[in-house]
């Protein structure tokens, strides 16, 4: 097993990419802790996977600090937590702009500062391919993702010998789109799949496997991997 005896913390691990990452890490022998601010979803995910859970709100300095005080020294940390709000640049409410940056960028910043990671261990941030393939009405998401990728490169220097990388997913079928009407969600995903060279949208497991590679390949740091089914080239 690739992660036998190693401690892994997945912040945002109660659903989507985070849940898939926690499940894969557990299957590879890791001692996994998942963290999320949604207590009900967190409990259900922990029971399903058979892992530890701790409530945490990445928008709170105190909450993140308490999480890692309880976790102690770990081998790997993954940050998938995000709260994305979009809208036309000229009219999107500033509170939505701030909320997106607060949860996804500053949340990752807080985690990186508070986490106690063993030398040679890893920190993986999850950005998104809008950083390099922007779309209308999503400027704040594109900017946040770009900032996260720059942060990963900077932290690879500042936190060494801890290794820091980022994974930048394309369109992934996760519960983040659960608020959409089911018919509309399916139509949107089908159109996206048809436009991609691979002929399908991504799954949480696709991204989790790349995150596992970041954890286990000791030469990987300062890397940004775009896993988007060819979305950047169409």
Neighbours of 65 (CB within 10 A): 14
3-state secondary structure of 8: strand
| Cα 167 to Cα 21: distance, rounded to the nearest angstrom | 12
pLDDT in tens, 170-229: 999 987 666 678 888 889 899 999 999 999 999 999 999 999 999 999 999 999 999 999
Closest CA relative to residue 166, chosen from 115, 105, 125, 123: 125
pLDDT cut 90: percent of the chain above it: 88
Tell me the pLDDT band of 86, cut-offs 50, 70 and 90: confident
pLDDT in tens, 36-50: 999 999 999 999 999
pLDDT in tens, 64-73: 999 999 999 9
**DSSP line for 66-118:** HHHHHH-EEEEEEE---------TTTS-HHHHHHHIIIIIIHHHHHHHH-EEE
CATH number of 7-170+204-226: 3.40.50.720
Rg (CA), the chain: 17
| Cα 24 to Cα 101: distance, rounded to the nearest angstrom | 28
DSSP 8-class letter at 230:
T
153 membership: H or E segment, kind and range: helix 139-158
Give pLDDT, residue 179.
Answer: 67
pLDDT in tens, 142-156: 999 999 999 999 999
**Domain residue extents for the chain:** 7-170+204-226
């Amino acid at each position: 097993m690739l992660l036998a005896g190693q401690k892994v913390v997945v912040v945002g691990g109660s659903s989507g990419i985070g849940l898939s990452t926690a499940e894969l890490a557990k299957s590879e022998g890791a001692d996994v802790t998942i963290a999320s601010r949604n207590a009900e979803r967190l409990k259900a995910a922990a029971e399903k996977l058979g892992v530890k859970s701790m409530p945490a709100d990445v928008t709170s300095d105190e909450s993140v600090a308490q999480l890692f005080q309880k976790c102690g020294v770990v081998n790997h940390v993954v940050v998938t937590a995000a709260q994305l709000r979009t809208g036309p640049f000229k009219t999107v409410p500033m509170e939505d702009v701030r909320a997106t940056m607060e949860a996804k960028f500053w949340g990752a910043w807080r985690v990186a500062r508070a986490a106690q990671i063993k030398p040679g261990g890893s920190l993986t941030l999850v950005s998104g391919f809008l950083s390099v393939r922007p779309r209308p009405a999503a400027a704040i998401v594109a900017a946040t993702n770009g900032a996260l990728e720059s942060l990963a490169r900077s932290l690879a220097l500042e936190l060494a010998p801890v290794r820091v990388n980022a994974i930048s997913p394309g369109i992934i079928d996760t519960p983040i789109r659960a608020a959409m009407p089911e018919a509309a969600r399916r139509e949107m995903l089908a159109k996206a799949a048809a436009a991609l060279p691979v002929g399908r949208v991504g799954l949480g497991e696709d991204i989790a496997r790349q995150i596992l590679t970041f954890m286990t390949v000791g030469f990987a740091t300062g890397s940004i991997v775009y896993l988007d089914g060819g979305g950047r080239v169409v």
